[in-house]
Amino acid sequence: MTIDVRQQDPMSPTTAPTAAAPSGDAPSGHRPLPTGDRPAAGRVGAGLFEPKQLIASLPDALRKLDPRVMIKSPVMFVVLVGSVVTTVLALKNPGDWFGWAITAWLWLTTVFANLAEAVAEGRGKAQADTLRRAKTGTVARRLTGTGEERVPGTELRIGDRVVCEAGDVIPGDGDVVEGVASVDESAVTGESAPVIRESGGDRCAVTGGTRVLSDRIVVRITTKPGETFIDRMINLVEGAARQKTPNEIALHILLAALTIVFLLAVVTLKPFAIHAGADEQTSLIVLTALLVCLIPTTIGALLSAIGIAGMDRLVQRNVLATSGRAVEAAGDVSTLLLDKTGTITLGDRQAAAFVPVRGTTEAELAEAARLSSLADETPEGRSVVALAKERHGLSEHDPLGPADAEWIEFTARTRMSGVDVHGRKVRKGATASVVAWVEERGGEVAADAQERADAISQAGGTPLLVAVEDDRGARVLGVVHLKDVVKQGMRERFDELRRMGIRTVMITGDNPLTAKAIAEEAGVDDFLAEATPEDKMALIKREQAGGKLVAMTGDGTNDAPALAQADVGVAMNTGTSAAKEAGNMVDLDSDPTKLIEIVEIGKQLLITRGALTTFSLANDVAKYFAIIPAMFAVAYPSLDKLNIMRLASPESAILSAVVFNALVIVALVPLALKGVRYRPSSADKMLRRNLGVYGLGGLIAPFIGIKLIDLLLSLVPGLS
């Protein structure tokens, strides 16, 4: 990658602005959405077969029997038509118990398929009901030219400015344009700790329905009533905006094609049966049962549930996707763009080592550095004190007290801080500033001081010189090595992404030397230093031109173009409205590292769909061996050799296959909702695993299941 090298001063002791989150915005891992008495339906894999949940989902499953709804799934529409046909035939011959049994299980197959989707949707609706409780009829204090007026929140329009003080509910989505306040966002994020929202910067966005806890802010409304963030969340988790993804559409076409092929195959069996004298064994009810068992009903029934569950797993991690397309795209991502500050690193430079010059001990340098940092409340200053205590057991508190010391605060002009105490002066700061301070006092700078500072700079760190003036004169004691600390476990996570076939690129505004050092320590594949919005856009377009899908995170207005360009753009909830509008996902926890989890969830969705498709197609083979011999063994006794399960009778064989076909849908619902466990590996390994586990399993399970059902049915008089 070509890097535009624009020199910066790597020795400045000031900390670059970071995205470090205040209380409540810290990375949280996996937090449920939201707090309160969350129903069992809102927990992944929990309470799946609780009677209350099944009863609650059953009406929705029955409503989905509407042909206008069923036709959206060609496979299940064929099952519905078959159920209607067998019902008519059973009514014509009320004494045919076999026809009624087949009819009942075909209807159960259709209902079970709808129940899988209804349960998945019910989990989202349970979350939506909880979110609705966050919407209240608020009264807004809208600013006018002469003061303020109280109006219902529903009357607010884009551009209106409203005042919110402690205890007020923010009436609509907007940006803080004046003031700073502590805001309770637990209704949206599930995080009980308050967060800070202030005008300017990337932490100005506020959400309607959240509550101001302190101070006073002025909010400019950025959304229309009914289009607020919570409104969109409710629509998303209910699945109203879920669109089929390209892969899902392709799979629907495949399933429809297989259904047509099997339909033609089954239709042609009737003439063969008449010719072979097996007309009685190939009644319309039997042929319908054969068709339903041979078409891929299992994956056809679970396909929608898999897609809904994929979005649900994101919601469980406090991430909202605008459509299923974003979730699936995450599974196909091949390039991941990650911001350095707050994502790969902790975001604050930390003291890593004390490097004394010749003639000075490390303990002497550590004591001077600690003393000059006691009044320094910056993250760097606190880290120096902490390192001195850790390495040399020095106290974190000044034993002399403020009356005996004159503290020198850091300023942009002096670029130094320190303390004057008992005639001794200690200074800590940028290399050039400390060297000038020593020389002004007639002191000499040790020859190796600049060498040590240069070595730290070349390694990507920030050197802070420490000097002292006492009865021995002014002199430099050594250098404090500051470095941006890489978060624990990041190298392992990037190794995992590499095994997944994903290339990672770190984006930073740091100079190339610092960027290179951090990139090597973190283990990313590449980096972009001194990145501008234009640089980010160019990088994304370059990757996409090579046929790759790109994902990135961002929270600022300057990130909006890149978020819109990326295939998966994850905007932070704490970010600006422009960023949230540009991205196709919003992370309510504002945790940039969650992008890695999002990719894993996307891959899990694709793997789950592939695994269950493999299982569904494989178990059709076993059902073939159950039904075909039963239909034609009378006419062609040699076909009895295919009856390897030794089923009791033709009626028992056909009914056993139909019963298994219905029950296997119910058995696989938990797997469809929870998802197949994802293990980072190459595409070849995943294919072999899918074929070995779900292909072989889909082949063996029906033989066992159908045989067990046949043994139970053989106990029924008249079936043996």
Output the average pLDDT for the chain.
77
Contact 230, 136 (CB under 8 A): no
CA triple 307-308-312, angle to 5 deg? 120
Pull the structure tokens for residue 426.
């200690």
**Residue among 207, 66, 59, 67 at smallest CA distance from 125:** 59
Kind and range of the H or E run holding 51: helix 51-63
Residue 197 has pLDDT above 70, yes or no: yes
**Buried/exposed code over 116-145 (b: 16+ C-beta within 10 A; e: otherwise):** bbbbbbbbbbbbbbbbeebbeebebbbbee
Q: What is the DSSP letter of 347?
A: E
For residues 664-683, give the mean pLDDT: 80
pLDDT tens-digit profile of 227-258?
766 666 666 555 544 455 567 678 888 888 88
What span, in angstroms and rounded, lies between the C-alpha atoms of 112 and 622? 21
Pairing status of strand 550-554 against strand 568-572: parallel
Residue 645 DSSP label = T
* Per-residue pLDDT at 579 exceeds 70: yes
339 assigned to active site: yes
Strand partners for 197: 181
Q: For residues 214 and 181, give the distance between their C-alpha atoms in angstroms, rounded to a whole number.
A: 6
**Contact criterion met (CB below 8 Å) for 429 and 417:** yes
d(CA 562, CA 566): 6
Among candidate residues 498, 511, 499, 598, the one with its CA nearest the CA of residue 553: 598
Give the per-residue pLDDT at 322: 67
Q: Tokens 């602005």 identify what position?
A: 17
Local confidence band at 443 (pLDDT 50, 70, 90 cut-offs): confident
SS3 of the chain: helix, strand, coil, percent, to 5: 50, 15, 30
Q: How many other C-beta atoms are found inside a 10 Å radius of the C-beta of residue 289?
A: 29
Rounded CA gap, 667 and 638, in Å? 35
**Is pLDDT above 50 for 448?**
yes
Three-class SS state of 133: coil
| pLDDT on residue 27 | 35
Q: Which of 587, 577, 549 is nearest to 565 (CA)?
A: 549
Contact 242, 324 (CB under 8 A): yes
For the whole model, what pTM was predicted? 0.60
- What does the pLDDT look like over 620-673, one tens digit per residue? 877 877 777 766 666 667 777 777 777 777 788 888 888 998 898 888 888 888
Residue 125 binned pLDDT confidence (cut-offs 50, 70, 90): low
Residue type at 173?
A: D
Region of residue 17 (phi > 0: left; psi between -120 and 50: alpha; otherwise: beta): beta
Give the per-residue pLDDT at 641.
74
Mean pLDDT confidence for 327-344: 80
**How would you write 484-552 as a 3-class SS string?**
EEECCCHHHHHHHHHHCCCEEEEECCCCHHHHHHHHHHHCCCEEECCCCHHHHHHHHHHHHHCCCCEEE
3-state secondary structure of 66: coil
Q: What sections of 190-228 are H helices per DSSP? A: none
Judged against a pLDDT cut of 70, whether residue 132 lies above it is answered with no
* C-beta neighbour count of 402 within 10 angstroms: 10
Angle separating helix axes 696-713 and 594-632, nearest 10 degrees = 50
Amino acid at 455: A
Q: What gap in Å lies between CA 601 and CA 711, rounded to an integer?
A: 41
Residue 691 DSSP class: I
CA 490 to each of CA 334, 508, 680: distance values in angstroms, whole numbers, following the listed order:
18, 16, 16
What's the one-letter identity of residue 666? Answer: V
**pLDDT for the residue 10:** 32
pLDDT of residue 148 exceeding 60: yes
Both tokens of 695, joined, read 């292909």
Reduced to 3 states (helix: H, G, I; strand: E, B; else coil), residue 546 is coil
More confident site: 347 or 369 = 369
What is the structure's pLDDT at 20?
33
Question: Which helix H or strand E contains 478, and what residues bound it?
Answer: strand 473-486
Q: What is the pLDDT of residues 359-411, one digit of tens each?
A: 888 888 888 888 888 877 777 778 888 888 888 777 655 544 455 678 887 77
108 membership: H or E segment, kind and range: helix 97-132
**Can you tell me the distance from the alpha carbon of 315 to that of 234, in angstroms, rounded to the nearest whole number?**
11
What is the mean predicted confidence (pLDDT) over 266-288?
A: 76
State both tokens at 37: 């008495």
Q: What is the pLDDT of residue 121?
A: 67
Joined together, the tokens standing for residue 164 give: 């919110």
Which phi and psi (to 5°) does residue 658 adopt? -65, -40
Q: What is the pLDDT of residue 412?
A: 61
What is the pLDDT averaged over residues 36-59? Answer: 49
Angle CA(580)–CA(582)–CA(583) in degrees, nearest 5?
70
Most distant CA pair in the chain, distance? 119
CA distance 158 to 171: 12
pLDDT at 501: 80
Please tell me whether residue 419 adopts helix, strand or coil conformation.
strand
**CA pseudo-torsion sign 301, 306, 309, 311:** negative
Distance, C-alpha 446 to centroid of its chain: 53
Cβ contact 676:611 at 8 Å: yes
Rounded Cα gap, residues 497 and 600, in angstroms: 9
Look at 230 and 66; give whichever has higher pLDDT.
66
pLDDT at 120: 65
Q: Are 345 and 484 in contact (CB under 8 A)?
A: yes
Q: Compute the distance between CA of residue 111 and CA of residue 318 in angstroms, rounded to an integer.
A: 31
Burial-class residue 530 by CB neighbours within 10 Å (0-12, 13-18, 19+): middle
Token duo for residue 343:
């994502």
Q: Where does the pLDDT of residue 719 fall: very low under 50, low under 70, confident under 90, or very high at 90 and above?
A: low
Distance CA 299, CA 331 (A): 19
Nearest to 178 by CA among 147, 206, 136, 138: 206
Whether residue 239 contacts residue 121, with contact meaning beta carbons closer than 8 Å, is answered with yes
**Tokens 């020199």 belong to which residue?**
7
Query: Which two structure tokens, joined as six digits, stand for 247?
Result: 């892969």
pLDDT band for position 49 (cuts 50, 70, 90): very low
Query: Which of 160, 168, 339, 591 is labelled catalytic?
Result: 339
The burial of 547, by beta-carbon neighbours within 10 Å (0-12 exposed, 13-18 middle, 19 or more buried), is given as exposed
> Phi and psi for 231 in degrees, rounded to 5?
-60, -45
In 207-277, DSSP assigns E strands to 211-212, 216-221
Integer angstrom CA distances of residue 701 from 379, 607, 612? 60, 20, 13
